[in-house]
Chain A
Amino acid sequence: MPDLTPLWLTLQIASFATAIAFVFGVAFAWLTARFSFWGRDFLDAILTLPLVMPPTVLGYYLIVVWGRNGWLGSRLNAHFGISLMFTWQGAVLAGTVVAFPLLFKSARAAFEGVSTEYEQAARILGDTELRVFFRITLPLAARGLLAGTMLAFARAMGDFGATLMVAGNIEGKTQTASMAVFDAVQAGDYTLANTLVAIMSLVCVAILVTINKLASRGRAGR
Chain B
Amino acid sequence: MRLEVDIRKTLHSGARRFELEAAFSSQDDLTVIFGASGSGKSLTVQAIAGLVTPEQGRIAVDGEALFDARQGVNLPARARRVGYLFQDYALFPHLTVRENIGYPLKKGWRFNLLPEARQEVTEIMASFEITHLAGSYPAELSGGQKQRVALARAMIKKPSILLLDEPFSALDSMLRHRMRMELLEIRQRFAVPLVVITHDPADVEVFGDTLVIFADGRVEEVSSRAKSAAPEVEGWREKVCWRAQWKKEHLAAHRFVPAAGI
Q: Tell whether A and B belong to one assembly.
A: yes
Chain A residues close to B by CB (< 8 Å): 115, 117-118, 120-128, 136, 139-140, 221-222
Nearest opposing residue in chain B for A121, CB measure: B90
Interface size class of B (residues with CB under 8 A): 20 to 34
Residues in A neighbouring B82, C-beta threshold 8 A? 124
Given A120-B51, A125-B104; A139-B94 close (CB under 8 Å): yes
Question: Are B92 and A127 interface neighbours, CB within 8 A?
Answer: no
Q: Which residues, 60 to 99 on B, are CB-close (under 8 Å) to A?
A: 76-78, 80, 82-84, 86, 88, 90, 92-94
Taken together as a complex, chains A and B put the C-alpha atoms of A174 and B86 apart, in Å, by 55
Q: Label chain A's interface by main secondary structure.
A: helix
Taken together as a complex, chains A and B put the C-alpha atoms of A127 and B83 apart, in Å, by 13
Residues in B neighbouring A125, C-beta threshold 8 A? 78, 103-104, 153, 157
Question: Are A124 and B77 interface neighbours, CB within 8 A?
Answer: yes
Nearest opposing residue in chain A for B82, CB measure: A124
Taken together as a complex, chains A and B put the C-alpha atoms of A117 and B93 apart, in Å, by 12
Nearest 3 CB-CB pairings of A with B: A121-B90, A125-B104, A222-B139
Taken together as a complex, chains A and B put the C-alpha atoms of A128 and B86 apart, in Å, by 19
Q: 15 A-B contacts, Cβ less than 8 Å apart?
A: A117-B88, A118-B93, A120-B77, A120-B86, A121-B84, A121-B86, A122-B103, A123-B76, A123-B77, A124-B83, A125-B153, A126-B157, A128-B78, A222-B94, A222-B138
Question: Are B78 and A126 interface neighbours, CB within 8 A?
Answer: yes
Min CB–CB distance A136 → chain B (angstroms): 7
Q: Does B49 contact A (CB under 8 A)?
A: yes
Q: Does B50 contact A (CB under 8 A)?
A: yes
Question: Are B93 and A120 interface neighbours, CB within 8 A?
Answer: no
Taken together as a complex, chains A and B put the C-alpha atoms of A123 and B79 apart, in Å, by 9
